Structure 1
Amino acid sequence: MKIKTLTTILQKMAPLAYAEDFDNVGLLTGNTETEVTGVLFCHDALESVIDEAISTQCNVVVCFHPILFSGLKKITGKNYVERAVIKAIRNDVAIYAVHTALDNHRNGVNKIFADALGLQNTKILVPKEGFIRKLVTYTVADNHLQLRNALFAAGAGNIGNYENCSFNSNGLGTYQGNEYSNPEIGERGEFMEANEVKIEVTFEKHLEGTILKALFENHIYEEVAYEVYTLNNLHQNIGLGMIGELPEALPETVFLQHVKTTMKTGGIRHSALLGKEIKKVAVLGGAGSFAIKNAIAAGADAYLTADLKYHQFYEAEGKLLLADIGHYESERYTAQYMADFLKANSNGLTILVSTVDTNPVKYF
């Protein structure tokens, strides 16, 4: 398998289009034409992890956090980022990062987090905005089904738990071709009226190229009339964080002990206890202070995340239990999830999970 084939599989797990604009995901070092000898999954692609990849004959490291996040003007080995990149390039080790592409996936980081805690009836906490587009096009009845089915096959018409969704309406279309036209119906220069079907379908924005290709290849008109809109609708199956319910309500201290044991954290910083049981829980792996208000609005009894500052604990406002369980800890099962996904979607590859502890935070 070449690296370009591997990245195609990884994008089924975490489409790069799902990543936040500030992020740096995908292939960070390496050549897509290189044959894969083995894949090592990790949380952070530090120099010690690159050493592990070399010793285990894995020439691809798939990391959660991108080791290259912001631009480098020099690569001299003066810090941990530069040293890791230099070692990877010298030893032909490719580095691929997923980060927020997997954060935003319905089955990604936050579903892993929620599943570990045993949450049920889960849904996205902060649905992604500006990700849904609508295609509107017009064709004659004889072309209607072929065109619509081709758009469905290209990925259009998926709404939540439903697929092949569209709206179709009949109307009267008019056109008149000039001397250079070659109309499928009628003659050039002839004013035409045709009974047409208007087809409306939504799609995820990263599929636009594929959708338009299907449109042009399956439409019978010489000139295809179509419109593409960006919708304000939230995407309920793409976004950050997750909220769900425990099988049974737990006292706050019992709940915190459950979190501490399950997520294997050395300590939990939390807001004032409220003296009520915890049933509805919101989670967001990594730095999640921005979603405190979302958790409150969703009616969460507790919100688990990481990297909270002193004053942000006040934002709990006595409405929920706010807990910082540690950045690494909130994402700790991600590497194993990625490895399991690749194992289920490939054959014959050496697939390993790093044994290096890359958590920079230690507890006394």
Structure 2
Amino acid sequence: MQIKELTNYLEHIAPLSFQESYDNSGLLLGEKSDEINQALISLDITEEVLDEAIASKCDIIIAHHPFIFKGVKKIGNSHWIDRCIRKAIKHNIAIYAIHTNLDNVHTGVNKKIADKIELINTKILAPKKEMLSKLTVFVPNEHSDKVLKEMYNAGAGDIGNYDHCSFQVEGTGTFRGNEESNPAIGKTGQEEHVAETRCEVLVANHKIHSVLLAMTHAHPYEEVAHYITPLSNINQEVGSGMIGDLPKPVESRAFLNDLKDKMNLNVIRHTKITSDKITKVAVCGGSGSFLLNASIAKGADIFITADFKYHDFFEANDQIIIADIGHYESEVFTKELLLDTLTKNFTKFAFRLSQVDTNPIKYL
């Protein structure tokens, strides 16, 4: 198949607009029209991963971490990124990164961690704001169901676990077409009064374009009266980290030992034990120290993440246990997450899990 078939799906489950401003997710090498036959799924891009792709005849690598992160001013042979770029191009291997956009969806990296440690009642820890808009459109009464149906199919009207959500008010619309108009109702140059429904739906900002196309296609009018209102509401399905409950309270040290087993950890760096039992757990794959205050505010007994600096551990302030499990260790199961969802949706395409340990940190 073509690369775009794969990338369209990946950007459906984790839209590129969800990535952080500093990130570089997306297709880093390759053209969307290129043909591919096998994909390798990896946490990172390294020379060893590229060698694995070459040996297994994979022509695209789907990685969590983008290896081209900052500006590349020249491509030589002295730096590992340069060598990766040269090798990928030489062997015609496309590279796609799905990074903070996958972190920020409620079915992404943090949900995988939550599932591994068997959390229930999970929610986004720090939901994002200003990612939703209200779309209002005025439709003749007899056409409102058809127009709304097409808008729903394009992604409008979703609120949490509910879809087809709208607010509708009936009223009277007026208009008069000039000599160049071709009105669906009434005559040119004549003021018309039409029984209309004012339809309001929520739309995620990244879906507005497709919803507008669907609305315009289904609407009977030559000119569609509508407007879009940006909202400051939080989007409960997009944001950083995740918080949830254990099925029943667990003694704190027993929980830490169980965490080592479930996440396959060599070591856990943690602050002092501040509570006898763990009930509520916050998690963030990768570097999550910025979510410490949110974890405390939402009543978590422990915050599981990575990359805490020495002085940041003091900020636990006897209010929470910080458990730093390592960056690689917190995200390595992202490979399984991607493999599971891709094989379910592309049943006739080959996906391979990378067997290369890309963790740059070693333990004695």
TMscore range, shorter length = over 0.9
1:120-178: per-residue Cα shift (whole Å, max 9, x none)?
11111111221111100112112211111111111110000000000000122222222
Instruction: Name 2:125's counterpart in structure 1.
Output: 125
Code of the aligned partner of 2:38: G
Matched, 1:268 2:268: yes
CA contact (8 A) 1:263 1:332 kept: no
Structure 1 residues 284, 186: CA separation in 2 closer, same or farther (over 3 Å shift)?
same
Q: Aligned partners of 1:93, 1:184: CA distance in 2, in Å?
A: 53
Say if 2:20 is the partner of 1:20. Answer: yes
Q: Which residue of 2 aligns with 1:89?
A: 89
Aligned to 2:308: 308
Residue type of the alignment partner of 1:319: Q
Q: Which amino acid aligns with 1:331?
A: E
Return the offset for 1:17: 2.9
Match for 1:147: what amino acid? Answer: V
Which residue identity lines up with residue 191 of structure 1 in the other structure? E
- Comparing 260-269 and 65-74, the one that deviates more: 260-269
1:189 offset after TM fit, Å?
2.3
CA distance in 1, matches of 2:21, 2:134: 21
* Alignment of 1:189 onto 2:189: yes
Shift of residue 20, structure 1, vs aligned partner: 2.0
What is aligned with 2:69?
69
* 2:45 alignment partner AA: A
Superposition deviation, residue 77 in structure 1:
2.3
Q: Distance in 1 between matches of 2:193 and 2:115?
A: 57
How many angstroms apart in 1 are the aligned matches of 2:296 and 2:242?
Answer: 13
Match of 2:147, as an amino acid?
A: L
- Mapped to 2, the partners of 1:9 and 1:152 lie a distance apart of 19
Q: Which residue of 2 aligns with 1:326?
A: 326
Question: What's the CA shift for 1:260?
Answer: 1.9
User: Match for 2:163: what amino acid?
Assistant: E
**Counterpart for residue 212 of structure 2:** 212
Shift of 1:38: 1.2
Instruction: Give the 3 Å change call, closer, same or farther, for CA 140–77 of structure 1 in structure 2.
Output: same
Q: Which amino acid aligns with 2:308?
A: L
CA drift of 1:10 comes to 2.5
**Which residue of 2 is the match for residue 178 of structure 1?**
178
Secondary structure (helix, strand or coil) at the match of 2:64 reads strand
- Rounded to whole Å, the distance in 2 between the matches of 1:350 and 1:147 is 39
- Give 1:1-364 correspondences, 5 Å limit: 1-364=1-364
Paired residue secondary structure (1:65): coil
What CA distance in whole angstroms lies between the structure 2 residues aligned with 1:21 and 1:197? 39
Q: Give the distance between the partners of 1:152 and 1:33, measured in 2 at CA.
A: 30
Distance in 2 (CA, whole Å) between partners of 1:171 and 1:12 is: 37
Runs in 1 of length 4+ with deviation above 3 angstroms? Answer: none
TM-superposed CA distance for 1:67, in Å, is: 0.8
1:327–1:198 Cα change, 3 Å: same
Residue 175 to residue 348, structure 1, CA distance change in 2 (3 Å): closer
User: Is the contact between residue 263 and residue 330 of structure 1 (CA under 8 Å) also seen in structure 2?
Assistant: yes
Deviates more, 1:214-223 or 1:3-12: 3-12
C-alpha distance in 1, partners of 2:346/2:144? 38
**TM-score in terms of structure 2 length:** 0.96
2:137 is matched by which residue type in structure 1?
Answer: T
Residues 129, 232 of structure 1: 8 Å contact kept:
yes
Would the alpha carbon gap of residues 143 and 350 (structure 1) be closer, same or farther in structure 2, given more than 3 Å must change? Answer: closer
Give the aligned residue type for 1:347.
Answer: T
Structure 1: runs of 5 or more not aligned: none
Q: TM-score, normalised by structure 1?
A: 0.96
Match of 2:187, as an amino acid? E
Superimposed CA distance per residue, residues 7-31 of structure 1 (whole angstroms, 9 cap, x where no aligned partner): 2233344332322232111111112
Deviates more, 1:162-171 or 1:309-318: 309-318
For the residues of structure 2 that align with 1:43 and 1:296, how far apart are their CA atoms? 29
Paired residues of 2:275 and 2:301 also in contact (CA < 8 A): no
1:303-333 CA-to-partner distances (Å, cap 9, x unmatched) read 1111111222122222111121111111111
Question: Residues 134 and 201 of structure 2 are in contact (CA less than 8 Å); yes or no, is this contact kept in structure 1?
Answer: yes
SS of 2:43's partner is strand
How far apart, in 2, do the equivalents of 1:68 and 1:170 lie?
Answer: 53
Question: In the aligned structure 1, how far is the partner of 2:36 from the partner of 2:168?
Answer: 47
CA deviation after TM superposition for structure 1 residue 265, in Å: 2.2
RMSD: 1.4
Gaps of 5+ in 2: none
Q: 1:286 and 1:340 mapped to 2: Cα distance?
A: 21
Identity across matched positions, percent: 44
Q: What SS does the corresponding residue of 1:107 show, helix, strand or coil?
A: coil
In structure 1, distance between residues paired with 2:155 and 2:236: 17
